[in-house]
Amino acid sequence: MLRREPPRAGDAGDRDRHALTYDDVGDPAGIPVVYLHGGGDSRVSRHPDDSIAAALGVRLLALERSGPGIRRPTLRAWADEVLPQLPVDEFAVVGWSAGGPHALALAAAAPERVRRVAAVGSLPPAALLGEVSSDVRTVMRLSRVSPMLARFPLERWGRRPVPPTCSAQCDDAYTRGRTESFRSGGLWLAYELAYLTRPWGFELGDVRAPVTLWFGERDTTCPPAIARELQRRLPDATIRLVDDTHQLLFSRWSEILTDVAREPRTGP
């Protein structure tokens, strides 16, 4: 079943924080999986068929990061804000592109709650930014110096057509997600890219959950060299290199959800 309008948006705000908005879809009694979208995207930037999650026994919580710009000192600060607002105790995490570091941050900040991580075409730590495409690297560096200036090229980029995925339906979902992302402008993204270029507030060695690194062999935005370096630094990481581009999230959606919803390994 194709369904693009969010069927149900949750709101887990409190008086001390901005509301956490998320789509709660799939199997309500299934294994909770938190989905974290890419930079310049939104919670609707995912495969448009939420019945896939339901068929796999996954309760998908697609979190929203776009919206009014909020300045944070570190990526860890974002994780510390989000964790008390999540409506589940234990969960797995899927993070695509700029969502990848956010997924790792949740795992590092709450090792007792995060069961497994899928980092899909993930951006790397600041020390490895030389591996990302030159246009992404340039705007990330500008965001660190001046988010207010960086928002303008980001908003121009947000009006460009999105790259093709694996189907017309997924292309449409990707386009709608991009539109939603920039509904309040691009300052939120500039602030996010700024803290992604600084020390994250945790070490990759703090991530105790098993991590699958999904990367596309033809990805020029976040090439496979990033996966190899992340694997070297993470305590428990496996690389899944597939014949795809940066948009592999859409074509491999079912495989990614199946993998991340597995029971974690026990014992030696």
In this prediction, residues 241-264 reach a mean pLDDT of 95
Pairing of the two strands 21-26 and 58-63: antiparallel
pLDDT in the model for residue 19: 72
pLDDT of 17 above 50: no
* Domain contains 186: yes
Instruction: Tell me, rounded to whole angstroms, the distance of Cα 114 from its chain centroid.
Output: 15
| Boundaries of domain holding 54 | 9-260
pLDDT of 9 above 80: no
* Domain contains 170: yes
* Domain contains 102: yes
Q: Tell me how far apart the alpha carbons of residues 190 and 48 are, in angstroms, rounded to a whole number.
A: 27
- For the chain, the domain total comes to 1
pLDDT in the model for residue 158: 97
pLDDT of 177 above 60: yes
* Domain contains 13: yes
* Domain contains 267: no
pLDDT in the model for residue 263: 78
In this prediction, residues 198-216 reach a mean pLDDT of 97
**pLDDT (tens digit, 9 = 90+) per residue, 117-139?**
999 999 999 999 999 999 999 99
pLDDT class of 10 with cuts at 50, 70, 90: low
Residue 220, domain CATH: 3.40.50.1820
Please enumerate in sequence order all residues whose Cβ is within 8 A of that of 177, keeping only pairs 6 or more positions apart, or say none: 37, 41, 42, 43, 44, 45, 46
Q: What is the pTM of this model?
A: 0.93
**pLDDT (tens digit, 9 = 90+) per residue, 79-99?**
999 999 999 999 999 999 999
pLDDT of 38 above 50: yes
Answer yes or no: are the C-beta atoms of 54 and 26 closer than 8 Å. yes
Q: Tell me how far apart the alpha carbons of residues 14 and 11 are, in angstroms, rounded to a whole number.
A: 9
pLDDT in the model for residue 16: 39
pLDDT of 39 above 90: yes
Beta bridge pairs of residue 119? 95, 213
* Domain contains 266: no
* Domain contains 149: yes
Max Cα-Cα span within the chain: 51
